[in-house]
């Protein structure tokens, strides 16, 4: 059957401007890190993508190594795009990334011009498109000078293979340095993609220059799109009574069982009680919290939150978080009191990477 998108799809979503750019992203974007590899039925993936677009999600976020196997998420999304959404390409924001390990040898990871440009060409081929809307350097690389990585991003935009470029998991100082460099080159960085959740607040913490990542992004005109707002599934009710079969923790996917300590689970139960008082699930409150107004950095500090979904029902539940993004002072205080760092930031070391010559 021919897929026909819902005619009211744009009435259902909030759209936020990205930093100092003219681009807007949906408040919720669909991340294809999990559930879009070859280990997951294509028809389930298709149903999730259709439902996301029907509810106003226009941004689909990938990376070269998403799967498994690496590359399969781009290939599978490319099939859905070609079959069902080709006529709507100009309504979509498609992003991908390179930085982590992708192929054997010295040119299959990092931040070199060789890797970034080769990887993007491969991604475009898998996706079946001429360009992506956003291309990210996925992590800072201590073995590549920052200017080489930034020149590569600049030239990728000049080539027309990406409309915008961004960075992911850079610390506040390196973000400011990269943003200044790109601004001088006439190709401003669009957006930063860090991990951020109630139990992983490193983006709020002051860096060496007493400026947090959120402040650094805002001061340099970058939008912020938060990945893992549910802390890899910890901020749901899924693990309160143990580790269910088929879950990420059971499969050892990014949420290992050590993160499900009794201390963390007790915290999850406290947060779940607060969510219930708001007539939300814990997952909905966690998403809403990331998107909340933050007066210190501007009303829309976080442009969008990246959500994953293993089913249409789960997707709908997460999108329904948008029905209540307001938090009273009492609710904010209760969340702060109930929560603590859960040791969930498995990307922490990457954010500390610096280029050669830095102290």
81 inside domain: yes
- Identify whether 279 is part of a domain: no
Query: Given pLDDT bands bounded at 50, 70 and 90, which one contains residue 356?
Result: very low
Residue 68 inside a domain? The answer is yes
**3-state SS record for the chain:** CCCCCCCCHHHCCCEEECCCCCCEEECEEEECCCCCCCCCCHHHHHHHHHHHHHCCCCEEECCCCCCCCCCHHHHHHHHHHHHHHHHHHHHCEEEEEECCCCCCCCCCCCCCHHHHHHHHHHHHHHHCCCCEEEEEECCCCCCCCHHHHHHHHHHHHHHCCEEEEEEECCCHHHHHHHHHHHHHCCCCCCEEECECECCECHHHCCCCCCCCHHHHHHHCCCEEEEECCCHHHCCCCCCCCCCCCCCHHHHCCCCCHHHCCHHHHHHHHHHHHHHHHCCCCHHHHHHHHHCCCECCCECCCCCEEEECCCCHHHHHHHHHHHHCCCCCHHHHHHHHHHCCCCCCCCCHHHHCCCCCCCC
Domain of 65? 11-233+287-326
pLDDT tens digit sequence for 133-171: 999 999 999 999 999 999 999 999 999 999 999 999 999
- Mean pLDDT in residue range 262-285: 95
pLDDT in tens, 178-211: 999 999 999 999 999 999 999 999 999 998 888 9
Residue 104 forms part of a structural domain: yes
pLDDT of residue 348: 72
pLDDT of amino acid 307: 98
Q: Does 270 map to a domain?
A: no
* CATH number where 100 lies: 3.20.20.100
63-105 per-position pLDDT tens digit: 999 999 999 999 999 999 999 999 999 999 999 999 999 999 9
Q: How many structural domains comprise the chain?
A: 1
Residue 189 counted as domain residue = yes
pLDDT band at 247 (very low <50, low <70, confident <90, very high): low
Q: Per the domain annotation, does 211 fall within a domain?
A: yes
Is residue 182 domain-resident?
yes
């Amino acid at each position: 059957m021919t897929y026909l998108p819902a005619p009211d799809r744009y009435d259902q979503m909030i759209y936020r401007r990205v930093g100092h750019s003219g681009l807007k992203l949906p408040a919720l974007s669909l991340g294809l890190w999990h559930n879009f590899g070859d280990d997951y039925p294509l028809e389930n993936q298709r149903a999730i993508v259709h439902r996301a677009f029907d509810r106003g999600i226009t941004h689909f976020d990938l990376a070269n190594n998403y799967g498994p196997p690496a590359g399969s998420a781009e290939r599978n999304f490319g099939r859905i795009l070609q079959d069902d959404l080709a006529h709507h390409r100009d309504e979509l924001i498609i992003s991908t990334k390179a930085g982590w390990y992708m192929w054997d040898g010295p040119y299959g990871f990092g931040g070199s011009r060789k890797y970034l440009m080769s990887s993007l060409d491969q991604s475009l081929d898998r996706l079946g498109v001429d360009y992506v809307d956003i291309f990210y350097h996925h992590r800072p690389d201590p073995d590549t000078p920052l200017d080489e990585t930034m020149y590569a991003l600049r030239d990728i935009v000049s080539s027309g293979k990406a409309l915008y470029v961004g960075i992911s998991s850079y610390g506040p100082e390196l973000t400011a340095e990269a943003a200044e460099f790109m601004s001088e080159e006439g190709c401003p960085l669009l957006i930063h993609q860090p991990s951020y959740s109630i139990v992983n607040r490193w983006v709020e913490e002051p860096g060496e220059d007493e400026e947090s990542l959120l402040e650094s992004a805002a001061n340099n005109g970058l939008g912020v799109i938060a990945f893992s707002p549910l802390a890899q599934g910890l901020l749901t009710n899924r693990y309160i009574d143990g580790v269910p079969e088929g879950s990420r923790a059971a499969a050892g996917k990014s949420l290992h069982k050590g993160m499900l300590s009794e201390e963390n689970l007790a915290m999850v139960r406290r947060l779940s009680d607060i969510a219930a008082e708001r007539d939300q699930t814990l997952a909905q409150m966690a998403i809403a919290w990331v998107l909340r107004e933050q007066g210190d950095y501007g009303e829309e500090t976080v442009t969008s939150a990246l959500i994953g979904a293993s089913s249409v029902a789960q997707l709908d539940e997460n999108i329904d978080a948008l029905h209540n993004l307001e938090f009273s002072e009492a609710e904010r205080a209760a969340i702060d009191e109930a929560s603590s760092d859960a040791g969930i930031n498995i990307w922490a070391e990457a954010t500390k990477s610096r280029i050669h010559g830095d102290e």
